[in-house]
Structure 1
Amino acid sequence: MSRVLVTGGASGLGAALVARFVADSHQVLSTDIAAESPAPGGAQYRQLDVRSADDWAAAVAWCEENWGGLDILVNNAGIATGGRIDVESLDEWARVVDINLMGVVRGCRAFTPQLKKQRSGYIVNTASAAGLVHPPMMSSYNTVKAGVVALSETLSHELHPYGVAVSVVCPSFFRTNLADSIQGDDTEMGATARKLIEKSPRTADDIAAGVLAGIKKGQFLIIPDRPALLAWRTKRFARPLYDRQMRKIAARARDRAEAAEVQPTGDRVPAAEVQPTGDR
């Protein structure tokens, strides 16, 4: 039985992971930004804002005092964002970097001393297929998720001598409430992302099942669904085809944006169309 902490555990993939770990008889601490939140029977809950170094320090102290340490840290908390480079604001860039990338960095930094001392442990970082393949109109999201992949690979080597393993999770779009976190100036891109999330045939529990299977196998790169795997393999082994697909998407977005600019009245034409490379 492992001691597990999951960030972003109140909803979406985080909640599905918490439920799966509980079902496997692990001790689980679900954390999220809210002061209180329901958790599956057997799990405990604690408020943790991944932007707060103090909250992370308190979480480390809680695990030490109540469990004597931690076995699995799941850095899952995050938001959805995206937009065209000349439309999305720098404030939104700062927001997604602080949460989706630096939130993971803070978690890894906070618990690494404890895991090194134990000479054991497992860090699981939720990235996205967008960390492996990079569709247009998603600059900020692609960038932070690629950063999580890079951080995870670095730590998989750095912490190996201490007996600490690392995995990174890269799913495509699946049904969740993630779209509710979309903000920013590129509202048309946000609407497109919401549609892709809400119409996906995959559920958070489907992805969680794939994640736990990957953890049990000790996989570094966990790609829990077929669309994400196909997109990644296309980029690796058929790069000209991948580039053509991405440029067609960008060209269609250009055409729609230009058409929207000349419409005198009525609804605007969606300006963005992206590949299914979603998130938690």
Structure 2
Amino acid sequence: MLGITQSAALVGVDAHLVQVEVNTGEAGDPRFILVGLPDTAVKESQDRVLSAMANSGFRTPATRTTINLAPGGLRKEGPAYDLPIALAILVSMKKCEDAELDNFLIAGELSLSGKTRPVKGTLAMAMLAKRLGKRGLIVPAESADEAALVDGVAIYPVESLDEAVRFLNHEHIIKPLPTNQSSFFQTPPESQRIDFAEVKGQQAVRRAVEIAVSGGHNLLMIGSPGSGKSMIAKRIPTIMPQPQIDEFLEILSIQSAAGTTLSSDNRYFQRPFRSPHHTISDVGLLGGGSIVSNKR
């Protein structure tokens, strides 16, 4: 029987729709066949999925099973397909209802115990779900906060494969995360707060920074080590206006695709600061973005 779920693939900072198709009960040797241009992490998902299903109390397929990640020409990377693959298998085995699956995008890595693990790019997936008119996004709880910043789409956090199945079978209620309660709206703790007012002296540099920020200009600081260049640059975002929500979503979509939002150190409503090492290559510097974001 055929089971279908929908997920997404990251291409740069944008998410593209991926349909996960699973067909069980095929004639032939009992084995898994995974197609659809998967990378190594995706190919290894079958081992994680089978263990997660068994440890969650579900019977695993004993027949030849084909898993297709469509479109076949789009490269699939990372472990985010574990959860949609597992749910598609259970749908094909009639262990999970498929009546509402078309209304959700699903992503999440599975541990061998069946617990979910965070994945990167859920903010872009939430934006895709909104564009496609989906009801919501089902993702691991640790990845749900950033996705909840997108208005107009419900974000359902799940802790395990079993919880996701019970939710889809209407045996368990999961309340969607409210947008205004996302942890990304919090301010940094006192121990991590910095301020441009802490710069003492350096009047010429202070004046140059203020002019550059107010006019949206670039700024090049040259000086001997220890003269305060990095200390001043790190405090430049504190004299800039808070980002608008659209700006913040654009900033976060880049950080989310890179996986940096999975760290609690980056879950604050503020402009980013990048401090690349002096040995960084030109490609690494240009590919990593600017040091301070001042999108106008």
Structure whose alpha-carbon radius of gyration is higher: 2
TM over 0.5, shorter chain = no
Relative to total residues, which structure has the larger strand share, 1 or 2?
2
Q: Scaled by the length of structure 2, what TM-score is found?
A: 0.28
Q: Scaled by the length of structure 1, what TM-score is found?
A: 0.29
Relative to total residues, which structure has the larger helix share, 1 or 2?
1
